[in-house]
């Protein structure tokens, strides 16, 4: 293939990481005309330079192949904005930023410059995703600074496979500026939002409260980030859901039957009822006519499929579930194994193997293992029939294959327990996903007792297949006796049992990863970082079962923003940014346009949040004692009025002195002693986002004042939006009239301890309300399972089935039946036959047309507003579902107690109620 083409040119090739530089060089140099692969050191000890000869489209090249280590550059504010007290955090929305190579990457930069000077071509082998494209342009910037005449090309490849790499080298394209632009947008927005909110909330709250979770509360950082905060939001939201759960009693009928073959447990196909009386009526009917008739026997073959090939998130989730290993630790160990060559690249979204991957060879490598080696041998034996080409999960990052073993090991001497575990998981997972599914025979038996349906099922595993090697998964099964259609028997036990709805569990690490994945928070390579950040920042804790609870601090911050009405703790902001980035990368939106729009929105949000900082204070006060530090000399950043005209370096901020008086002083104190005194009659003052139109140099933010009525002349207003820039005559006159001196009574109401606490607890209460009203799911998890439910209708009841009405809840026919309880013996009722529908009404009510479904009997996981409706209309009567039946207008039309028939009370208060 090495044709003519004249004198060889020199090409500098750059990969995103050393391993790719090595792998691609290895592939491209694997022919006699390459002159062999030479390696030499670069200036960075990690990033070697590989050299060989190669022909591209018949042009001979001398290739120098080196690498970077991820991003070469960082985006950062200009120096004068770097110090926290150097500016008002709101300035960070327009402060100049620059992209530069940080100190620890300067050796890589030097290598690139030196190599670029010697080269005619630059070929970019960065990962083929948006971040990779952005890194490509960072490399271009460094290289073209050294050599303006470079001919710049991009190699597009999705796997480190010979054919793919050669194809990429022969079909070079130009780098895609739009992809890189999208990342520039994200970087800048992340930095500006993160830095502004972090500085704002840290400086606002850190010194105002006694943060009792650390001994070093002066240095604690209350960070905000567009990924870490929604992650915290998931944790807090689940916590609130648990807190607001009200346990509710329900009732279910259980039936067992012992025979010579064993015991069968039949579950009620209605699942459970929340109405004790209804359950009792149905139960008593069963007891009076307990003969069970087998109505259906179903035998089915069921398959349990092996998992898809392993992506990063799945690895993290499974290691957490199987080994209780944190996602951070899993990634650390996986990185070690990758570096040592035992597993493939561990940061991948891909969960299907390319057709070109030689899966058999990977299995062959594992044949020697003392434990799973024999399974690997069976897999390769065509007669065993165990092999199955893996089914993919539909994700492909176009850069890396799923995680799989790349080298056999029976365990290395330097490995920790965690290394053994992660390697074993990767190997077993791989072997599982090229295996046949497990096969089971499932038997379901349905019976009828007095018109009520019950079902029992059993499973026998016929072939374990992949379960033989994937020891982390089980497929529970039990054997039930044989039954035949029409068979009749008397149950061994028939019981009416109670249960209580339970709240959902706290979020596990695997749950949290799923939430983040679904909402697009973070990437496969960073999700574990965001989770760890919650722990590092004291926002959440993780218990021994890997479940997350928000700390007081985490809950307070989310509560504060939520009370402001912002969804900054929700994933929507990130989702919107992600969609904007996509638009930039597709060219449908321009970089500058998206940046400006997003920053403008976020700035408005920031300014508004600062005005509403009282909400954050109140939320914090629910959980923490106020400290007296904030009343001292610590400046309250966030109250910047203008830049100091005296020192020209720092900002003038609104402050309240210990004596209760307000002043506007320079943050440069004590070097700069510039100060503007305010009238002594000020009772409240807050900097607004309004800018004075006359005073210069601007901006000069106006201050909203409140004066004490008795201390100012009657012709002055108590409320005044004023400016300290010199234009405000009212303010000047009031200083003259009232002076700036201290007053005897400097204590004032408002943020006092008592007030804060009471409003705090109100906050706390309104929290659960708010959570429900904004439509959070209110899933209740019954403590008993409700298996066997489906939408199909049952056969007509054995008795009274001649009459039916359509169900007012679901439309299915409700058959007429007869009650057998002491109080209602002989009374007819309609009961919905649809499984899962609990509609029930007396015949006389139905005939009068005045029935509605019973309130909470028909409640389900998709009914989030139940709490809002509860307790208001039925406050005086207790549980809503005990209020007999109501007309369409909500009026009770039957005031009788179900249990004893007494009209003076309802069933929940019945003295005869009980079991």
Partner DNA sequence: GCAAGGTC
Residues marked active site are found at 345
> To the nearest whole angstrom, how small is the minimum distance from the Cβ of residue 523 to DNA?
4
Q: Which is nearer to DNA, 198 or 409 (CB)?
A: 198
- DSSP bridge pairs for 310: 403
User: Which residues, other chains included, contact 206 with Cβ-Cβ below 8 Å and sequence gap of 6+?
Assistant: 217, 218, 220, 222
Q: Binding residue for DNA (CB under 7 A) from 42, 175, 225, 402? A: 225
Residues 30-49 that bind DNA (CB under 7 A): 46
Cα torsion for 482, 487, 492, 496, to the nearest 10°? Answer: 110
Nearest to 530 by CA among 808, 288, 249, 225: 225
Q: Give the residue, chosen from 109, 131, 248, 446, that forms a contact with DNA under the rule CB under 7 A.
A: 131
Could you tell me the smallest distance in angstroms from the CB atom of residue 521 to DNA?
7
Sequence-distant (≥ 6) Cβ neighbours of residue 160 within 8 angstroms: 20, 23, 24, 27
- Identify the DSSP state of 178: H
- Beta-bridge mates of residue 818: 828
Compute the least distance from the CB of residue 130 to DNA, in Å: 8
Question: Cα(634)–Cα(656) distance, rounded to whole angstroms?
Answer: 10
For residue 420, give both structure tokens: 């053994």
Q: Does 233 engage in binding with DNA (CB under 7 A)?
A: no
State the nearest-atom distance from the C-beta of 334 to DNA, in Å. Answer: 11
Q: Which is nearer to DNA, 18 or 440 (CB)?
A: 18
CB of 596 to DNA, least distance (A): 18
How many residues form the binding site for DNA (CB under 7 A)? 52
Binding of residue 100 to DNA (CB under 7 A):
no
For DNA, the binding residue among 14, 29, 105, 112 (CB under 7 A) is: 105
Work out which of 42, 175, 226, 402 binds DNA, going by CB under 7 A: 226
Out of 10, 43, 62, 85, point to the residue binding DNA (CB under 7 A).
85
Long-range pairs for 175-180: beta carbons < 8 A, 24 or more residues apart: 175/124, 175/133, 175/136, 175/137, 175/140, 176/133, 176/585, 177/137, 178/584, 178/585, 178/586, 178/587, 179/130, 179/133, 179/134, 179/585, 180/130, 180/133, 180/134, 180/136, 180/137
Q: Count of CB atoms within 10 A of residue 306's CB? A: 23
Helix (H) or strand (E) holding 719: strand 719-722
- We find the least distance from the C-beta atom of residue 217 to DNA, in angstroms, to be 10
Measured CA to CA, the distance from residue 623 to residue 630 in angstroms comes to: 17
Beta carbon of residue 227, minimum distance to DNA (angstroms, whole number): 3
- Select 432 or 553, whichever has its Cβ closest to DNA: 553
- Is residue 17 a contact residue for DNA (CB under 7 A)? yes
Query: What is the nearest approach in angstroms of DNA to the Cβ of residue 338?
Result: 7
List binders of DNA among 158-217 (CB under 7 A).
Answer: 186-187, 190-191, 193-195, 198-199, 202-203, 206
Among 113, 129, 328, 634, binds DNA (CB under 7 A): 129
* 83, 148, 174, 872: residue in contact with DNA (rule CB under 7 A): 83
Burial class of 388 by CB neighbour count within 10 A (0 to 12, 13 to 18, 19+): middle
Quick one: three-class SS letters along 261-313? CEEEEEEECCCCECCHHHHHHHHHHHHHCCCEEEEEEEEEEEEECCCCCECHH
Question: Which stretches of 509-551 are DSSP H helices?
Answer: 509-519, 527-536
335 touches DNA (CB under 7 A): yes
For residue 390, give both structure tokens. 């893996």
How far is residue 27 CA from its own chain's centroid?
40
For position 111 contacting DNA by CB under 7 A, the verdict is no
In the bound state with DNA, the residue whose beta carbon lies nearer, of 293 and 526, is 526
Out of 60, 69, 254, 498, the residue judged to bind DNA by CB under 7 A: 69
Based on the shown chain and the rule CB under 7 A, indicate whether residue 330 belongs to the binding site for DNA: no
Tell me the sheet residues that pair with 675: 665
Residue with Cβ nearer DNA (348 or 821): 348
Residue span 509-538 as binding mask against DNA, x where in contact by CB under 7 A, dash where not:
-------------xx-xx--xx--x-----
Per-residue string for binding with DNA, 134-163, x by CB under 7 A?
-x----------------------------
User: Does position 667 bind DNA by CB under 7 A?
Assistant: no
Of 268, 307, 257, nearest to 487 (Cα)? Answer: 257
Cα separation of 910 and 888, whole Å?
26
Residues within window 338-377 making contact with DNA, judged by CB under 7 A:
339, 347
User: HSE on the CB side for 238, CA within 13 Å?
Assistant: 19
Angle between helices 753-773 and 552-564 (to 10 degrees): 70
Binding mask 421-460 for DNA (x = CB under 7 A): ----------------------------------------
Q: 186 vs 896, which CB is nearer to DNA?
A: 186
Instruction: Rank residues 128 and 907 by Cβ distance to DNA and give the closer one.
Output: 128
Instruction: Tell me if residue 11 falls in helix, strand or coil.
Output: strand
Per this entry, what is the length of the chain? 915
Shortest spacing between CB 342 and DNA, in angstroms: 14
Q: Are the beta carbons of 15 and 33 closer than 8 angstroms?
A: no
- Helix H or strand E encompassing 256: strand 249-259
One of 88, 127, 446, 882 touching DNA (CB under 7 A): 127
Does position 605 interact with DNA (CB under 7 A)? The reply is: no
Residue closer to DNA (CB basis): 15 or 823 = 15
Closest distance to DNA from the beta carbon of 348 (Å): 10
Other CB atoms within a 10 A radius of the CB of residue 61 amount to: 22
User: How far apart are CB 648 and DNA at their closest, in Å?
Assistant: 20
If one counts every other C-beta atom within 10 angstroms of the C-beta of residue 493, the result is 12
The rounded distance, in Å, linking the Cα atoms of 282 and 166 is 74
Q: Which of 84, 475, 485, 781 binds DNA (CB under 7 A)?
A: 84
Question: Which one, 105 or 879, has the nearer CB to DNA?
Answer: 105
Q: How far is the CB of 19 from DNA (least distance, A)?
A: 5
* Distance of alpha carbon 890 from alpha carbon 868, whole angstroms: 16
- Judged by CB under 7 A, the stretch of 71-79, 153-161, 369-377, 597-605 that binds DNA is 71-79
| Binding of DNA by 236 (CB under 7 A) | no
* Candidate segments 79-87, 425-433, 454-462, 696-704, binder of DNA by CB under 7 A: 79-87
Decide if residue 76 touches DNA (CB under 7 A): yes
d(CA 282, CA 898) in angstroms, rounded, equals 13
Of 253 and 527, the one with the shorter C-beta distance to DNA is 527
What are the beta bridge partners of residue 805? 814
Residues binding DNA (CB under 7 A): 16-19, 46, 69-71, 74-77, 82-85, 105, 127, 129, 131, 135, 186-187, 190-191, 193-195, 198-199, 202-203, 206, 219, 221, 223-229, 335, 339, 347, 522-523, 525-526, 529-530, 533
């Amino acid at each position: 293939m090495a044709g003519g083409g004249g004198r060889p040119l020199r090409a500098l090739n750059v990969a995103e990481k050393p391993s790719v530089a090595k792998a691609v060089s290895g592939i491209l140099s694997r022919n006699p005309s390459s002159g062999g692969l030479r390696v030499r050191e670069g200036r960075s000890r990690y990033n070697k330079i590989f050299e060989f000869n190669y022909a591209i489209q018949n042009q001979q090249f001398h290739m120098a192949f080196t690498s970077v280590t991820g991003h070469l550059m960082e985006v950062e504010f200009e120096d004068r904005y770097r110090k926290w007290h150097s500016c008002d955090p709101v300035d960070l929305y327009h402060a100049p930023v620059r992209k530069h190579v940080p100190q620890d990457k300067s050796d890589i930069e030097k290598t690139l410059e030196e190599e670029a000077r010697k080269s005619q071509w630059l070929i970019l082998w960065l990962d083929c995703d948006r971040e990779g494209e952005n890194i490509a342009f960072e490399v271009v910037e460094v290289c073209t600074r050294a050599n303006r005449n470079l001919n710049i090309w991009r190699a597009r490849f999705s796997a480190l496979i010979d054919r793919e790499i050669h194809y990429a080298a022969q079909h070079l394209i130009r780098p895609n500026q739009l992809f890189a632009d999208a990342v520039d947008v994200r970087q800048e927005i992340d930095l500006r939002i993160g830095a502004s909110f972090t500085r704002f909330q840290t400086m606002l709250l850190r010194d105002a409260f006694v943060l009792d979770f650390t001994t070093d509360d002066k240095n604690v950082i209350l960070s905000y980030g567009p990924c870490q905060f929604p992650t915290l939001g998931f944790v807090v939201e689940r916590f609130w859901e648990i807190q607001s759960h009200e346990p509710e009693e329900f009732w279910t009928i259980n039936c067992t039957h012992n025979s010579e073959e064993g015991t069968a447990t039949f579950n009620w196909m209605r699942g459970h009822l929340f109405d004790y009386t209804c359950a009792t009526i149905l139960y008593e009917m069963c007891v009076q006519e307990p003969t069970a008739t087998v109505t259906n026997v179903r035998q089915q073959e069921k398959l349990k499929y092996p998992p898809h090939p392993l992506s990063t998130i799945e690895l993290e989730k499974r290691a957490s579930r199987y080994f209780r290993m944190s996602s951070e630790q899993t990634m650390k160990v996986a990185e070690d194994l990758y570096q040592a060559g035992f597993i493939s690249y561990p940061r991948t979204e891909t969960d299907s193997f390319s057709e070109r991957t030689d899966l058999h060879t990977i299995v062959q490598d594992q044949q020697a293992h003392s434990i799973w080696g024999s399974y690997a041998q069976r897999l390769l034996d065509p007669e065993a029939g165990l092999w199955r080409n893996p089914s993919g999960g539909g994700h492909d990052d176009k850069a890396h294959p799923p995680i799989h073993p790349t080298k056999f090991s029976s365990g290395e001497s330097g490995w920790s327990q965690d290394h053994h575990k992660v390697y074993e998981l990767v190997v077993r997972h791989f072997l599982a996903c090229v295996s046949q599914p497990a096969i089971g025979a499932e038997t379901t038996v349905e019976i009828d007792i007095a018109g009520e349906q019950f079902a029992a099922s059993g499973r026998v595993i016929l072939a374990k297949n992949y379960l033989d090697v994937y020891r982390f998964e089980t497929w529970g099964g039990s054997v039930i006796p044989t039954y035949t259609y029409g068979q009749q028997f008397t149950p061994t036990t028939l019981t009416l049992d109670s249960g209580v709805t339970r709240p959902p569990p706290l979020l596990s690490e695997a749950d949290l990863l799923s939430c983040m994945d679904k909402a697009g928070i973070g990437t496969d390579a960073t999700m574990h970082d965001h989770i760890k950040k919650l722990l590092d920042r004291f926002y959440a804790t993780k218990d021994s079962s890997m479940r997350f609870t928000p700390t007081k601090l985490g809950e307070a911050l989310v509560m504060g923003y939520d009370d402001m009405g912002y969804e900054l703790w929700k994933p929507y902001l990130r989702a919107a940014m992600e969609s904007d980035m996509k638009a930039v990368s597709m060219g449908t939106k321009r970089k500058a346009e998206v940046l400006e729009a997003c920053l403008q929105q976020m700035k408005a949000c920031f300014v508004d949040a600062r005005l509403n900082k009282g909400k954050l204070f109140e939320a914090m006060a629910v959980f923490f004692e106020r400290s007296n530090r904030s009343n001292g000399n610590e400046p309250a950043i966030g109250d910047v009025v203008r830049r100091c005209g005296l020192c020209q370096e720092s900002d003038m901020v609104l402050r309240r002195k210990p004596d209760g008086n307000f002043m506007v002083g320079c943050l440069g104190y004590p070097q700069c002693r510039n100060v503007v005194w305010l009238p002594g009659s000020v009772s409240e003052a807050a900097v607004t986002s309004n800018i004075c139109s006359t005073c210069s140099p601007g901006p000069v933010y106006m201050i909203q004042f409140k004066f004490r009525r008795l201390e100012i002349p009657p012709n002055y207003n108590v409320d005044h939006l004023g400016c300290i820039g010199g234009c405000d005559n009212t303010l000047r006159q009031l200083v003259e009239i009232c002076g700036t001196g201290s007053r005897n009574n400097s204590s004032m109401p408002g943020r006092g301890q008592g007030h804060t606490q009471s409003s705090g607890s109100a906050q706390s209460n309104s929290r659960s309300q708010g959570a429900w009203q904004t439509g959070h799911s209110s899933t209740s998890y019954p403590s008993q399972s409700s298996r066997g439910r489906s939408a199909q209708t049952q056969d007509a009841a054995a008795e009274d089935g001649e009459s039916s009405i359509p169900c007012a809840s679901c439309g299915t026919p409700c058959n007429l039946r007869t009650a057998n309880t002491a109080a209602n013996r002989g009374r007819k009722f309609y009961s919905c036959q649809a499984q899962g529908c609990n509609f029930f009404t007396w015949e006389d009510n139905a005939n009068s047309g005045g029935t509605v479904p019973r309130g909470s009997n028909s409640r389900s996981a998709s009914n989030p507003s139940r709490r809002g409706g509860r307790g208001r209309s039925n406050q005086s009567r207790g549980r809503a579902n005990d209020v007999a039946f109501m007309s369409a207008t909500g009026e009770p039309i039957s005031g009788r107690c179900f249990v004893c028939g007494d009209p003076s009370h309802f069933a929940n208060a019945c003295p005869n109620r009980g079991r």
